[in-house]
Structure 1
Amino acid sequence: MAYASCTDEMEATSFLIMNKAMAPNRGLRCQPMSVAFTDRGQNLIPGFRLIVPTGCTVVHAAGGDDLGVSHSILISAPFSAVIPTRAILTTTAGDDLNGWVIALRSGVLGQVSQEAFGAVPKWSMSWDPFLREAVDTLGALYDADLIDAACADAFADVISAHIVLRYGHCAGAAEPDTPLTRQMLTRIQVFIHEHIAENIRVEQLAVLVHMSASNFAHVFKAATGNPPHLYVTLERVKFARTMLCEETLPLVEVGARAGFQTQQHFTDVFHRYTGVTPRAFRLAHRNVGS
């Protein structure tokens, strides 16, 4: 998916589905990954794309930013990424390309949101369950040929607002004893999702909101109901559940991507908080899907 630059001249967003009857330069459009690779973004309005690979598809996005700095990122499920429209997409998957690319025109937003949208990181990758769920629904409607202009604009509105509110904020520094605000919690959640495979320390999270580790642990538990360590563990389990639903990744890789040090540790923690082992969870999900 891609997002266009925010200008006063833009009219209200309309949605473009890649079909034979519609022009390629209006509003928001949804493309299967294979179509996006063929298109190469040459007909897209300037702006950004949201890349949402599924299955085993790994997308390499490369290009520069407005300051001339080169960027190169690898995107694979269950992550998604916001990249400039003109970034070059490549993959090692050959013709087996699964996922979605969405180009979004910002005129669907109000002026305040348009200004906030400018603060969205242009080369960012995150695990965002809401976005993936929205895109899965959008893809299912696309496949069934059930999207009209009103439906498309509704998706544009929801996706735009979500990204602006979650990633486009400009939060200030916190005083030592300030309770965590929603913006602070969002900043912490984004950091955890971006570094879920790594060892995340309380001190790292505290720095994000300009607090000491001890004060942060206290206010974080007051805000979420869980201490930071348990919260991160539950996010790892949630992340692993998302990957297990993809069906294709080996269990050992799922555990590693979710930040568990060993396969046994992954199995023990996953069972503790879900009541089943990772293998049993995957088999149950397959049975439900069939």
Structure 2
Amino acid sequence: MKEETRSTPDRGLRCQAMKVAFADGGLNSLQGLRLVIPTGSTVARAAGCDDFGVNHSTLISAPFAAVMPAGAQLATIADNDPTGWVIALKRGVLGQVSQEAFDAVPKWSRFWDPFLREAADTLGALHHAELIDAACADAFADVISVHIALRHGHCAGVAEPDMPLTHQMLTRIQAFVHEHIAEPILVEQLAVLVHMGASNFARAFKTSTGNPPHLYVTLERVKFARTMLCEEILPLVDVGARAGFQTQQHFTEVFHRYSGVTPRAFRLAHRNAGS
């Protein structure tokens, strides 16, 4: 047993509850990238400089997560009992494929990812029930590393057949939408991101994704609202505003159209399912 401990000194350290990771700096000795996933009302701050000496400072709160270099300084904002997870991402979990994909993962990026929210909730439930050990924590870290490599680090720079927009372009658009989800988002703004005219971009986007840009943004707003409704922290009116809906009535109408129920009914159903 002692020999195994010496050969794997980071065992169980790659996936830590935020309170533990921030308190003892257990992840500071690990190299590469870290994923920060706050839960509840916790707000985390990451600060540091990139490879070019440019300073960065990012605030992260649910339902967002963020990828940071290992050397970033992490702290919470006025929270003595932070909740969430800090995960050291492993480059070689898929061999050479994931190592190349990780080169394309944008550092200092903040994004909304439903899979990561579900993973954080599962980790929280296991931790609360005292059912998570070092091996289980490492397994979660590996699965999440694979997800980050494939979902956020896809480095295809060339469009695939019948895909006029590359994965890199689509990732850039998705990141912009998530970053500005509470604001009005115009097709023209998205087109500028990939250096295209609005009409050409709209056609290319629909060909690549199956949906026109305005419908994609609307569906992302609905998904974002669902995540916040499951968090059970914000009042319904604040959920709608943070998801980018201009009025509560518009939020209710659009949410019902694409979810089949009103926001209030969705929250109640989620609450009853978890009880």
TM range (shorter): 0.7 to 0.9
C-alpha distance after superposition, 1:123-160 (max 9, x if no partner): 110001122223333444455435564x5555444322
Contact 1:79 1:126 in 2 (8 A): yes
Structure 1 stretch 127-136 or stretch 41-50: which is displaced more? 41-50
Aligned to 1:271: 256
* Offset of residue 183 of structure 1: 4.6
Structure 1 residue corresponding to 2:30, chosen from 37, 45, 51: 45
Q: What secondary structure sits across from 1:97 in the alignment?
A: coil
TM norm structure 1 = 0.80
Taking the aligned partners of 2:120 and 2:228, their CA distance within structure 1 comes to 16
SS for the counterpart of 1:44 is: coil
Partner Cα separation in structure 2 for residue 245 and residue 42 of structure 1: 29
Structure 2 Cα separation of the partners of residues 234 and 79 of structure 1: 17
Range with bigger deviation, 51-60 or 102-111: 102-111
Match of 1:10 in 2: none
Query: Among 243, 246, 252, which residue is 1:261 paired with?
Result: 246
Matched, 1:234 2:227: no
Q: Does 1:36 align with 2:46?
A: no
For the residue of structure 1 that corresponds to 2:107, the secondary structure is: coil
Query: Per-residue CA shift, 1:84-139, capped at 9, x if unaligned?
Result: 22322222343231111112332323124213312322211000112222333344
Within 2, Cα distance between the matches of 1:282 and 1:225? 29
Q: In 1, Cα distance between the equivalents of 2:57 and 2:92?
A: 28
Q: Is the aligned partner of 1:145 residue 2:131?
A: yes
CA, structure 1 residues 73+41, in 2 after alignment: closer, same or farther (shift >3 Å)?
farther
Counterpart CA distance in 2 for 1:171 and 1:83 is 22
- CA distance 1:212–1:141, change in 2 (3 Å): same
SS in 2 for 1:101: strand
CA contact (8 A) 1:141 1:147 kept: no
Contact 1:33–1:100 under 8 Å retained in 2: yes
CA distance in 2, matches of 1:276, 1:89: 39
Per-residue deviation at 1:26? 4.5
Number of equivalenced pairs: 269
> For the residues of structure 2 that align with 1:181 and 1:84, how far apart are their CA atoms?
25
Task: Return closer, same or farther for 1:215/1:152 CA change in 2, 3 Å cut-off.
Answer: same
Gaps of 5+ in 1: 1-15
Q: Rate the CA distance shift 1:280–1:226 in 2: closer, same or farther, 3 A.
A: same
The partner residue of 2:58 within 73, 76, 83 is 73
Q: Partner amino acid for 2:175?
A: V
2:185 equivalent to 1:200? yes
Task: Choose between structure 1 and 2: higher helix proportion.
Answer: 2
1:41-190 correspondence runs (5 A): 41=26, 43-143=28-128, 144-147=130-133, 149=135, 154-172=139-157, 179-190=164-175
Measure how far apart 1:23 and its partner are. Answer: 6.8
In the alignment, structure 2 segments of 5+ residues that lack a partner are none
Cα pair 2:205 2:213 within 8 Å, conserved: yes
Q: Aligned partners of 1:57, 1:180: CA distance in 2, in Å?
A: 36
Cα distance in 1 between the residues matched to 2:269 and 2:11: 42
RMSD: 3.0
Distance 2:46 2:27 in 1: 15
Structure 1 residues 277 and 22, CA gap change in structure 2 (3 angstroms): farther
1:141/1:22 CA distance change after superposition, 3 Å = farther
In structure 2, the residue corresponding to 1:245 is in which secondary structure? helix
Q: What is the CA–CA distance in structure 2 between the aligned matches of 1:90 and 1:148, rounded to whole Å?
A: 24
- Most deviating of 205-214 and 43-52: 205-214
